[in-house]
């Protein structure tokens, strides 16, 4: 009797528990690889653009016959909120959108200017999207970015992801994911930045190429301006996020020729100081690099010229930092460097008063930049090949 | 005796640490309680001495009446009126089991299976826990002994995998608002260890009860060390402000693991490990509820009431709050701390006091 009961129970369990309740097969979901968010031009709604993977197009690996076929499908839908628009998209897709594989969120310029926080709530609240998705701000419409093609990658979102990762080679873009952005947004004493993406090239819209460069600067959650490439590296110097890159300086003995110096490693130290109510912040940069290339034909590998190159390199770094400090302090009054957090860490008591008015105080803060740039090696050849 | 099994000190401490750690790993509500800032890791460290403080009344009560559980000793100490206190103890374990099951269910329904009714998770867990309870405390202890090392190791592994996302500067400034909120924080953390009441419940079944003290103290320090790791990791990755908002921060931290583009999405693997821990957590409390009820009603065997109590617990766990907002309000530090303290510290202190005055039980010295 007892054995019979156990066998019956086992059979019932076997039949009913062989899958999850929320089971979704691959052919019943639309895997979203990138999302773009814009304001709808025709009505007072949000327009979302989705880049959806086409598994059938990706199956043919190696064969060039389907090379013309796009690996993704893009579609737009509108709604009053993001989630509303997402669900409205199912009217076109025949499948529910699936966000766990989403790697890229692109926000249109107009939306970013109006305040980005309400648009991120869905991505932070819903359990499906991951906080590791990269956050990018489009110069112009986000839908254009989502619809753009990429020659090398079948899935353009993968290309965007790759470009963000590759930006470490120049350090002229910021690498910000959803989690970093949300963290900056809710921490007092630091304003967020996000990566900038734009379409470059002339001609037809479909011929334009995506380009990940620079940074979008926010005040609270509103976009206030853009940083160009050197300014972005200036920001990265202060944040200690410069990985690699090339610094071009004029050759010491031939002033019209350029010398390229490669950055090997860099670090920064932010030291705030409050004396008699006056705030001074010292930013120290330590950089090490190599002499990587010279266009001039003079021998640079001697003690004096190396010293001179180091001096010039330090000056370039200083200029980059000063450019971004100037813009952040004078033009926008937004603390993207986290100086407020640095003060909080060192002077918790004083910060209690400063916290509320930090954005007004920040432009008045005196910031000292000290750069210590070193050259270590000079590559394989010690001198340029003499042209005879 | 109702229970013939004997457990060792090590097994007891395994259940103890495991059930306490599981609650932290899933819910991690400390960010929503004082000190509300980056000093929380200090609170986590200070929770060890606070635990020892809270443990004292229950521990001395247990040592005084070594061969009786808390439910039985209340009657011996207070006479017939003791039945009321015993009933309160039993209620505490029933309610705790209901809370644990509900937490477990909420975790699954809000993160992994949003469309599945919560009853499925609560019912299934209760079903398996009932089976474990039927087999006695020794079985539960064995599972704990296997699961605990795995879980302790997995937390360290998570730490190693997340270390590159981790911003150590999150601990500064230290003691921003002074030491008082930090101590209050430690108080809140320690007050959630309702398992302390498990000491007088399980001491009669421990083979060498005299040595339990040392094991408990080691257990508390292991716990506070792990609390500290979990709190630091979460705060370092999400920042203090975000950690306060996120409902299951440690789980989300595991979701962020991404090593070299291939070691990703191991969160589901950890859910599998957590299930084993949650299972021990739930079945321990379930067992104590069943044992207490049987002793309260002076039954010869506790096994027949396992299904009956299970049905009560499952219903209670669903009916106790209509949604997660109400549930979280009850679990907030302002309510739940005092609720647990009433059963965990105040009632045992009262019993101990009366026992000393009425000279009941053997002096442990």
Does residue B317 sit within a domain?
yes
Tell me which of A204 and B100 has the higher pLDDT: B100
Query: Does residue A169 sit at the B interface (CB-CB below 8 Å)?
Result: no
Tokens 């920042």: give the residue.
B239
Residue B284 has pLDDT above 70, yes or no: yes
Residue A272 has pLDDT above 60, yes or no: yes
CA-based nearest residue in chain A for residue B267: A130
For testing contact with chain A, the best of B161, B176, B240, B250 (most A CBs within 10 A): B176
Range of the domain at B116: 9-357
Summarize the confidence of residues B21-39 as an average pLDDT.
Answer: 80
Instruction: For residue B258, give the nearest of A127, A132, A346 by CB distance.
Output: A132
Mean pLDDT of chain A: 85
Query: What tokens were used for A366?
Result: 């005196």
pLDDT in tens, B106-137: 888 888 787 888 888 898 889 889 998 988 88
Q: What is the 3-state secondary structure (H, E, C) of chain A?
A: CHHHHHHHHHHHHHHHCCCCCCCCCHHHEEEEEEEEEEECCCCCCEEEEEEEECHHHHHCCCCCCCCCCCCEEEEEEEECCHHHHHHHHHHHHCCEEECCCCCEEEECHHHHHCCCHHHHHHHHHCCCCCCCCEEEEECCCHHHHHHCCCCCCCCHHHHHHHHHHHHHHCCCECCCEHHHHHHHHHCCCCCCEEEEEEEECCCCHHHCEEEEEEEEEEECCEEEEEECHHHHHHHHHHHCCCCCEEEEEECCCCCCCEEEEEEEEEEEEEEEEEECCEEEEEEEEEEEEEEEEECCCCCCCCHHHHHHHHHHHHHHHHHHHHHHHHHHHHHHCCCCCCHHHHHHHHCHHHHHHHHHHHHHHHHHCEEEEEEEEEECCCCCCCCCCCCC
Summarize the confidence of residues A316-320 as an average pLDDT.
Answer: 90
For testing contact with chain B, the best of A345, A346, A354 (most B CBs within 10 A): A345
For testing contact with chain B, the best of A17, A21, A190 (most B CBs within 10 A): A21
Residue A246 has pLDDT above 70, yes or no: yes
Share of chain A above pLDDT 90, in %: 15
d(CA B282, CA B301): 21
CA-based nearest residue in chain A for residue B169: A345
Parallel, antiparallel or unpaired: strands A96-98 and A366-375:
unpaired
Contact check, Cβ <8 Å, B111/A131: no
pLDDT computed for residue A59 by the predictor: 61
- Which pTM was predicted? 0.86
Summarize the confidence of residues A24-31 as an average pLDDT.
Answer: 78
Contact check, Cβ <8 Å, A131/B114: no
The count of other CB atoms within 10 Å of the CB of residue A121 is 13
Contact check, Cβ <8 Å, B255/A187: no
Summarize the confidence of residues A145-170 as an average pLDDT.
Answer: 86
CATH classification at residue B132: 1.20.1740.10
Query: Does residue A296 sit at the B interface (CB-CB below 8 Å)?
Result: no
Does residue B88 sit within a domain?
yes
Residue A203 has pLDDT above 80, yes or no: no
Does residue B1 sit within a domain?
no
> For chain A, which domains are there?
26-57+68-227 (no CATH), 230-388 (3.30.300.210)
Does residue B364 sit within a domain?
no
pLDDT computed for residue A16 by the predictor: 65
d(CA A160, CA A212): 7
Summarize the confidence of residues A235-239 as an average pLDDT.
Answer: 90
Residue B260 has pLDDT above 90, yes or no: no
pLDDT in tens, B203-245: 888 888 888 888 999 999 999 999 998 888 888 888 888 888 8
pLDDT in tens, A103-124: 899 999 999 999 899 999 999 8
Instruction: For residue A186, give the nearest of B173, B237, B239 by CB distance.
Output: B239
Q: How many domains does chain B have?
A: 1
Residue A385 has pLDDT above 60, yes or no: yes
pLDDT computed for residue A65 by the predictor: 46
Contact check, Cβ <8 Å, B112/A21: no
CA-based nearest residue in chain B for residue A352: B176
pLDDT in tens, A56-105: 766 655 544 445 567 888 889 999 999 999 888 888 887 888 888 888 99
- Minimal Cα–Cα distance from A269 to chain B, Å? 12
Residue B364 has pLDDT above 50, yes or no: no
Residue B365 has pLDDT above 50, yes or no: no
Does residue B4 sit within a domain?
no
Strand partners, A210: A199
Does residue B171 sit within a domain?
yes
Residue A227 has pLDDT above 70, yes or no: yes
Does residue B313 sit within a domain?
yes
pLDDT computed for residue A384 by the predictor: 79
Does residue B103 sit within a domain?
yes
């Amino acid at each position: 009797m007892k054995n019979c009961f156990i066998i019956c129970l086992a059979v019932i369990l076997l039949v009913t528990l062989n899958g999850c309740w929320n089971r979704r097969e691959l052919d019943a979901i639309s895997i979203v690889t990138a999302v773009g968010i814009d304001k709808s031009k025709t009505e007072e709604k949000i327009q979302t653009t989705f880049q959806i993977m086409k598994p059938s197009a990706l199956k043919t690996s190696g064969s060039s016959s389907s090379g013309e076929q796009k690996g993704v499908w893009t579609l737009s839908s509108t709604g009053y909120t993001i989630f509303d628009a997402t669900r409205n998209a199912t009217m076109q897709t025949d499948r529910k959108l699936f966000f766990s594989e989403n790697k890229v969120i692109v926000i249109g310029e107009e939306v970013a200017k109006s305040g980005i926080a309400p648009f991120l709530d869905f991505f932070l609240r819903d359990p499906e999207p991951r906080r590791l998705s990269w956050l990018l701000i489009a110069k112009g419409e986000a839908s254009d970015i989502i619809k753009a093609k990429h020659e090398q990658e079948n899935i353009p979102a993968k290309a965007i992801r790759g470009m963000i990762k590759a930006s470490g080679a120049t350090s002229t873009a910021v690498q910000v994911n959803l989690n970093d952005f949300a963290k900056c947004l809710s921490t007092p004493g630091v304003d967020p930045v996000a990566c900038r993406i734009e379409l470059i090239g002339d001609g037809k819209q479909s011929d334009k190429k995506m380009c990940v460069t620079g940074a979008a600067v926010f005040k609270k959650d509103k976009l206030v301006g853009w940083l160009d490439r050197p300014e972005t590296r200036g920001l990265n110097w202060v944040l200690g996020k410069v990985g690699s890159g090339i610094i071009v300086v004029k050759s010491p003995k031939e002033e019209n020729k350029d010398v390229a110096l490669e950055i090997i490693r860099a670090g920064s130290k932010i030291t705030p100081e409050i004396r008699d109510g006056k705030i001074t912040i010292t930013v120290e940069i330590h950089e090490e690099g190599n002499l990587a290339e010279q266009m001039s034909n003079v021998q640079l590998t001697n003690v004096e010229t190396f010293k001179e190159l180091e001096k010039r390199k330090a000056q370039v770094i200083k200029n980059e930092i000063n450019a971004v400090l100037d813009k952040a302090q004078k033009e926008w009054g937004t603390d993207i460097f986290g100086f407020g957090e640095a003060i909080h860490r060192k002077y918790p008591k004083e910060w209690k008063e400063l916290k509320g008015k930090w954005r007004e105080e920040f432009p008045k803060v005196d910031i000292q930049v000290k750069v210590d740039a070193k050259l270590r090696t000079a590559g394989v050849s010690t001198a340029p090949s003499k042209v005879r | 005796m109702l229970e013939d099994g004997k457990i060792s000190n090590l097994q007891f401490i395994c259940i103890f640490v495991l059930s306490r750690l599981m609650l932290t790993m899933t819910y991690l509500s400390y960010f929503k309680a004082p000190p509300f800032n980056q000093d929380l890791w200090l609170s986590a460290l200070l929770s060890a001495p606070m635990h020892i403080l809270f443990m004292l009344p229950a521990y001395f009560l247990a040592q005084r009446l070594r061969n009786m559980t808390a439910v039985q000793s209340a009657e011996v100490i207070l006479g017939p009126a003791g039945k009321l206190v015993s009933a309160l103890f039993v209620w505490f374990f029933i309610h705790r089991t209901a809370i644990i099951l509900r937490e477990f269910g909420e975790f699954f329904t809000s993160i992994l299976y949003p469309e599945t009714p919560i009853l499925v998770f609560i019912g299934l867990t209760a079903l398996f826990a009932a089976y474990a309870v039927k087999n006695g405390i020794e079985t539960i202890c064995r599972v704990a002994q296997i699961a605990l090392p795995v879980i302790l190791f997995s937390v360290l592994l998570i730490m190693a995998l997340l270390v590159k996302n981790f911003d150590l500067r999150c601990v500064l400034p230290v003691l921003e608002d002074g030491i008082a909120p930090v101590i209050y924080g430690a108080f809140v953390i320690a007050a959630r260890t309702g398992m302390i009441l498990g000491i007088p419940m399980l001491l009669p079944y421990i083979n060498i009860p005299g040595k339990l003290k040392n094991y408990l103290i080691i257990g508390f320090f292991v716990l506070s060390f792990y609390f500290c790791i979990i709190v630091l990791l979460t705060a370092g990755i999400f920042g203090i402000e975000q950690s306060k908002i996120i409902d299951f921060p440690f789980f989300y931290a595991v979701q962020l693991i991404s090593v070299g583009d291939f070691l990703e999405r191991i969160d589901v693997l950890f859910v599998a490990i957590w299930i084993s821990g949650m299972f021990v957590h739930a079945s321990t409390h379930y067992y104590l509820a069943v044992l207490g009820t049987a002793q309260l009603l002076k039954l010869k065997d506790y096994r027949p009431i396992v299904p009956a109590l299970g049905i009560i617990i499952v219903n209670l766990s669903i009916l106790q709050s209509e949604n997660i907002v109400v549930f979280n309000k009850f679990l907030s530090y302002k309510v739940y701390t005092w609720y647990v303290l009433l059963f965990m510290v105040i009632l045992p202190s009262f019993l101990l006091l009366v026992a000393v005055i009425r000279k009941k039980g053997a002096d442990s010295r």
